[in-house]
Amino acid sequence: MPDQPIRVMLVDDQALLRTGFRMVLAAQPDMEVAAEAGDGLEAIEVLRATAVDVVLMDVRMPRLDGVAATQRICQGGEGGPGDPKVLILTTFDLDEYAFSGLKAGAAGFMLKDVPPDELLSAIRAVHSGEAVVAPSTTRRLLDRFVTMLPTAPPETHPGLGQLTDREREVLVLIAHGLSNGEIAARLFVSEATVKTHVGRILAKLQLRDRVQAVVLAYETGLVRAGGR
């Protein structure tokens, strides 16, 4: 448990939903609701003066939606003190927005009706620097919306040329939904070795986490929906 509570910001245009999330978070000794906002524009304004660790970001909101707000927070340097991580909240029929949110820099996405324990675990994972989207869920999302992705060859991303053959193999397995443990079993190496490979892949491709690695693998054509 961290010495200081995880500071969470709730961004949703429905006050009732924010109240529900606030009640769940308030019951946790390692979390606190540091701020709230009713839309993306207000969230950015609040973040400029408020230290936040994790932002729970709705998608459909007035003035500035969650995807645009996420992009400005993660890529535009408007996160304010604390450089917050963004966790997109969505519903099944808004998967395309979740995909856009991941590309914009979100650390992951969850369904709005997620059980409280899973939401709390996701917040803790994001705060610790992990991606909270299960690899298999990420693949389902990208498979469903693969038509949104460009068909450029992998060579269009210069970082891919810096990967070793083994690192490229690990990247493909990540994109196909395998966990570190599963990759280790497939390649007959230790899980620690896989973690080392993943770290080098992220560094060479200048990616924040494995969610972005999956997006890049699909986006560049290294991995295709339904096959390798």
> What confidence tens digit (pLDDT) does each residue in 218-228 have?
778 787 655 44
Q: Render pLDDT for 142-194 as a digit per residue (tens, 0 to 9).
A: 566 555 555 555 457 778 889 999 999 999 988 877 778 888 999 999 988 99
Taking the alpha carbons at both ends of the chain, their separation in whole angstroms is 40
- The percent helix, strand, coil of the chain (3-state, each to 5) is 55, 15, 35
State the helix-helix crossing angle for 66-75 and 40-47, rounded to 10 degrees.
Answer: 30
| Partners of residue 89 on adjacent β-strands | 110
Tokens describing residue 29: 């000794």
DSSP E strand boundaries for 24-148: 31-37, 54-57, 85-90, 108-111
pTM (predicted TM-score): 0.67
Contact partners, residue 77, CB within 8 Å, separation at least 6: none
